Structure 1
Amino acid sequence: MIQIFGGPPAGLQNAPHDVRIIAAGHQVAVREVNFSTVHDKDSLMLAFMAGLGLTDRFGHNWDALYDVLTDPESPRKRLALVLYDYARFRSRRANLCAQLESVLFDAQRTAAEQDRDLWLLIEEADSDPRHW
Structure 2
Amino acid sequence: MMNVFAEAPQGIQTAPHDPRIVAAGYQVAVREVDLSQVRDKESLMLAFLRGLALTESFGRNWDALYDVLTDPDARPARFALVLCDYGHFRRRQRQLGAELEQVLLGAQRDAAAQGRALWLLAEEPVTDPRHW
Q: Same fold (TM over 0.5)?
A: yes
Does residue 88 of the first structure (1) align with residue 91 of the second (2)?
no
Aligned residues: CA RMSD: 1.2
Per-residue CA distance 1:86-125 (angstroms, 9 max, x = gap): 1000000000000000000000000001111000001111
1:66-85 correspondence runs (5 A): 66-74=66-74, 76-85=76-85
Unaligned runs of 5+ in 2: none
Which 4+ stretches in 1 moved above 3 angstroms?
Answer: none
Unaligned runs of 5+ in 1: none
Q: What is the rounded CA distance, in whole Å, between the counterparts of 2:32 and 2:75 in structure 1? A: 18
Sequence identity of aligned pairs in percent? 62
- Name the counterpart of 1:13: 13
Change (3 A) 1:127 1:11: farther
- Name the counterpart of 1:44: 44
- Name the counterpart of 1:113: 113
- What TM-score does the superposition give when structure 1 sets the normalisation length? 0.94
SS at match of 2:9: coil
Aligned partner of 2:58: which letter? F
Aligned partner of 1:114: which letter? Q
Aligned partner of 2:14: which letter? N
1:22-41 correspondence runs (5 A): 22-41=22-41
Q: What is the rounded CA distance, in whole Å, between the counterparts of 1:105 and 1:124 in structure 2? A: 19
Per-residue CA distance 1:50-94 (angstroms, 9 max, x = gap): 000000010000000000000022350011000000100000000
Superposition deviation, residue 127 in structure 1? 6.0
